[in-house]
Amino acid sequence: VCVCNATYCDTLDPVVLPAPGTYVKYESSKAGKRLERSEGSFQPTLHAPELLLTINVSMLHQHIKGFGGSLSDAAAINILGLSRPAQDHLLRSYFSESGIEYNLIRLPMACSDFSVRPYSYDDVPNDYELKHFMLAEEDVNMKVGSGGHWSSAMSKRPLSLFASPWTSPAWMKSNGDVRGKGTLKGQAGDKYHKTWANYFIKFLDEYSKHNVTFWAVTAQNEPLAALLTPPLFPTIAFTAEHQRDFVIQDLGPALARSPHRTLLIILDDQRIHLPHWAKVVLGNTTAARYVAGMGVHWYLDSIVPPSWSLEATHKLFPDHFLLYTEACSGFLTFRFSVSLGCWERGDRYSHSILTVLNNFVAGWTDWNLALDMKGGPNWVKNFVDSPVIVDSSKDVFYKQPMFYHMGHFSKFIPEGSRRVGLHSSRRCLLCQLEHVAALPPAG
């Protein structure tokens, strides 16, 4: 790990393209290299290389949206638990030109499990006009500053924020509680679904008053995983058919009527549901017009090959993007939620990103930007790991291998890049190298 505090944190120089005939290499290693830069020249050789990579810039694939992480309540609490100079170092590490230049930030709409309490924005029963809708103190006191202004002031790249709801107010849910398994009451097109759709618009309205705009919203965080989560988790369950009808009759029209140019992302769940979920929702032409893309979580990726899920979905619906919207290590583990300096967890990040980029995914979003030494706070004790771990008692934070693995992508593949053709041929069985090639927007 790299230990950062109020007076020190490692930095990166701005990326400068090498001269013709030369290359720049950035290397991170288990031995301690952290995006270490070196230069070299291409040399003609009489010997055939053991591994040959051939780039084809005329073979253009998906546009890249970007890379980032999530400003959960827990992340905001940990960032704000540091002194202001240490906070600045943490945010610069993620967003500035001297850092890894994230451009995506995901925000939960109201509480997630990574909150310190369950809450919604309107707990007044039967308030179908949402007259009592109000952002929480977590939004106003923590996120508007840390998520909106600090990071954007440090970033040279435009930031894209997207929001995801975990739960509706209790009075809209079938079980009468923001916690636990339940669906929205009623059915698509009724007063509950209209109100829930307008809840999204009110959220966008209230944030816009603080000069924070959202590139996209997801229709629901993990709509099917909601059926499997422990009883205290904040959730709403949707089937693909229910989400399709909600998009057609309620959420799609509400977003279209609103002054916000916010895109809509469906699924926001595991890729085992693809391409089925896409066929159900995007197979309806009305729903497809309202939807920009599909969000994917990484937790069950080992169950289904990417070609069967991601590539198959892209081939069916090439005009709708695929974006990884959540991933973390240390979940459901009997070992350690937080494992400081664990190189293997960083390796898994890189393996996932390389795999999904090569299967038409447009970007990759980590879960919490920062967590404490236990992997929280989390009010249901679902502690996990994060690329940045904060020890506020010492006013320090630790940048883990996952942070540097993320940087190998976020730093060098800016928004607007295109994945291009890359062919490998090797003469030795041990020359295993995962790879991807992208052309930046400037060419």
**What distance in Å separates the CA atoms of residue 162 and residue 410, rounded to the nearest whole number?**
17
Q: Which strand ranges, in their side-by-side order, compose the sheet holding 371-372?
A: 2-4, 396-399, 388-391, 371-372
Amino acid (one-letter) located at 114: F
- Residues 183, 236 contacting (CB under 8 angstroms): yes
CB 187 within 8 A of CB 129: no
Neighbours of 388 (CB within 10 A): 25
36 given a catalytic annotation: no
CB atoms within 10 A of CB 430: 7
Pick the catalytic residue: 138, 311, 326, 415? 326
Please, what's the largest Cα pairwise distance for the chain? 78
The C-alpha atoms of residue 3 and residue 341 are separated, in whole angstroms, by 11
Alpha-carbon distance of 117 to 179, in angstroms, equals 11
Catalytic residue among 222, 241, 311, 415: 222
Extract the tokens encoding 222: 């993990």
Q: Among residues 162, 289, 297, which one has the least CA distance to residue 218?
A: 162
- 3-class SS at 104? strand
| Bond into 414 cis (ω within 30) | no
Q: Annotated catalytic, 326?
A: yes
Tell me which residues are annotated as active site. 222, 326
